[in-house]
Amino acid sequence: MPWRRAKEMTKQPKALGKFVEVSKDPVRRSGKLLMFFMGAEYCPYCAAERWAIVRSLQKFGQWDGLKQTISAARDQPFLNLPTYDFTKATYNSPYIEFVAREIKDRDFKPLQKLLKTEEKLVRKHNPKKEIPFLLIGGRFSQLGSGFPPKIYRAYVQANRNGTQEDRVRDQKDY
């Protein structure tokens, strides 16, 4: 019966690329939309995702203390992928409250623990604790990287001139 099929189809979550709509209710912290990232420093998929996060968030605010690092040197595809270290970085924006938790370091050792409120978000939207995990405004989540690290690796190799920070700074869209 076609009307039943149409009704069932409307219950499916909306997808935007690899993002899936998980709620209609936004999550705010300090009056700003919360953007939560959970990853691990060893993870090449997290490394690629960090680059995309840095690039997109710099349009809405400013980074401080953002340092370069690399993903794991063993036991992972795409070894030593250049990326950013969120562990001591801060992000200031009038619109977005960005929170990053790196649960393991590049040597696979525990690094940062989730706060109780973050643990609750992860349990609700990512019960298997897959990484990378990105939750935007409590409305859209993404498990895994938005693009494969091999694309980022090719970009880095093609742009060896200058530092990673210089390349990102030079590519601002505003």
What is the reported pTM? 0.79
One digit per residue, pLDDT tens: the chain, 174 residues? 444 444 444 556 676 678 899 999 999 999 999 999 999 999 999 998 998 999 999 999 999 999 998 888 877 777 788 889 999 999 999 999 999 999 999 899 999 999 999 999 999 999 999 999 999 999 999 998 887 777 666 665 566 555 555 544 444 433
Cis before 132 (ω within 30): yes
| Nearest-angstrom CA–CA distance, 31 and 54 | 21
Neighbours of 28 (CB within 10 A): 12
Which H/E stretch holds residue 129?
none
Pair of tokens at residue 89: 């970085």
